[in-house]
Structure 1
Amino acid sequence: MPDDLVIPSRRSARRRDRRGRGLRGPLLPPTLPGWRTRSEEFDDAVLGAVERLEKRWSRQLSAVEFGVEEVPPSDPSPWERDAVALGRYFPADPAAGLTDRVVLYRRPIQSRCEDATELHALVEEVVREQVAHLLGRDPDDL
C-alpha cells in the first residue's frame, strides 16, 4: 500500500464508533417534551391562536398571511420608539403583490414568559391585537 494513500472512511468510523460501543443515539427520545425546540413550540402556539380566530373570522382572515420572525427589524415604527415590538400588522400592497400580513416576533415574546402557559396566553393576546388592528375592531371583540 503506498504511503500517500489515506482512507478517510476508516478515520471517521473510528470517531463515530468510539471504543467499540456502536453509534450514539439521540439524547432525548421523541416521546419526551424536551424533544421539541423552543421555536417549534412557539410556532405551535401561533398556529393554535390563529386557528381559534379563524373559526369565527374565517372569511375576513382567508387572505391574511401569518408569520414568525426571530426579532423585529432594527428600524422601529415611529410609535414603537419606547418599546420592543412583539408583533406587527403589514397592510396589503397590491402593487407589490403582497396580501395582509401579521408577523409575531419570537424572541421578545419568549423573553417575557416563564412557562408554556404564559407563552400561549401572550401569543394569543398579540395575535388578537394584530388581527383586531387588521379588522378595525377592538381586541376584546375578538
Structure 2
Amino acid sequence: MQTRSGGGQGPSNVRAARDRHGRGARGPLLPVGVPRYRTRTAAFDQLVMDAYAPLHNAYFDQLAGVDLAVDTIPRMRLHADMTVLPDEIIADGPVPLGRVLQAGVDMHGNPTRARFVVFRMPIEHRAVSTQERSELLTWVLTALVANYLNLDPRTVNPDFPW
C-alpha cells in the first residue's frame, strides 16, 4: 500500500494528525506537574542551582558579586598541544567542565562582574545518572569557588576528592 507522500514504510511517511484550521496543539502536551514537562536543559540548570546553593550560602559575602552561568559547550580558544590548562579552567583531562571569568571590562568599556561558567554537554557526557551528574557538578563548582577565593578545595568542601 502506498501513501500520497511517496510510498515506503519510513517515519517520514506517517500521516500527521488532523490539524483543522491551522491551530496546532490546543494546549501543553504534558501537565506542568509531570517531571517530563521540564526540558533536559531546565533540569540541568536546576541541578546546577542545587549544587551551588550550599557554596553560595557558606561564602555569601565573598560570592555576592559573582554570577553563575551555564553554557552548552566550552567556547574557548585552546591550543591542541596544551598539556596544562590555566588555573581558572576546571577540566577532566583536556576537556573543560567549568571556568572562572574574572571581573573586568567588556568591549564597550562597561564593567563586568565575575562569573562561574559550567559547561553542560561535557558534564552530561561524563555522568550517566542524575546522582552522578549532581556529584560531578558539586565537584566542579567547589573547584571553581576555591579557585575564585584562592582557597584549597578541601577548605571549601572537606569531602573534595582532589
How high is the TM-score relative to the length of structure 1? 0.77
Deviations 1:33-92 (A, max 9, x none): 111111111111111122111211000000011111000015127534951100001112
132, 140, 144: which one pairs with 1:130? 144
Paired with 1:89 and 1:74, the residues of 2 have a C-alpha distance of: 12
Superposed, 1:56-71 pairs within 5 Å as 56-71=58-73
Paired with 2:127 and 2:103, the residues of 1 have a C-alpha distance of: 31
Paired with 2:22 and 2:56, the residues of 1 have a C-alpha distance of: 51
Instruction: List runs of 5+ in structure 1 lacking aligned partners.
Output: 1-11, 18-22
Note if 1:48 corresponds to 2:50.
Answer: yes
Paired with 2:129 and 2:47, the residues of 1 have a C-alpha distance of: 12
Paired with 1:51 and 1:74, the residues of 2 have a C-alpha distance of: 27
Alignment correspondent of 2:94: 83
Note if 1:121 corresponds to 2:118.
Answer: no
How high is the TM-score relative to the length of structure 2? 0.68
Alignment correspondent of 2:120: 106
Q: Percent of aligned pairs with the same residue?
A: 32
More strand by share: 2
More helix by share: 1
Larger RCO, structure (CA 8 Å, separation 6 or more): 1
**What is the CA RMSD across the aligned residues, in angstroms?**
2.4
Query: 1:141 corresponds to which letter in structure 2?
Result: T
Misfit runs of 4+, over 4 Å: none
Determine which structure has more spread, i.e. the larger CA radius of gyration. 1
Query: 1:38 corresponds to which letter in structure 2?
Result: R
SS of match in other structure, 2:96: coil
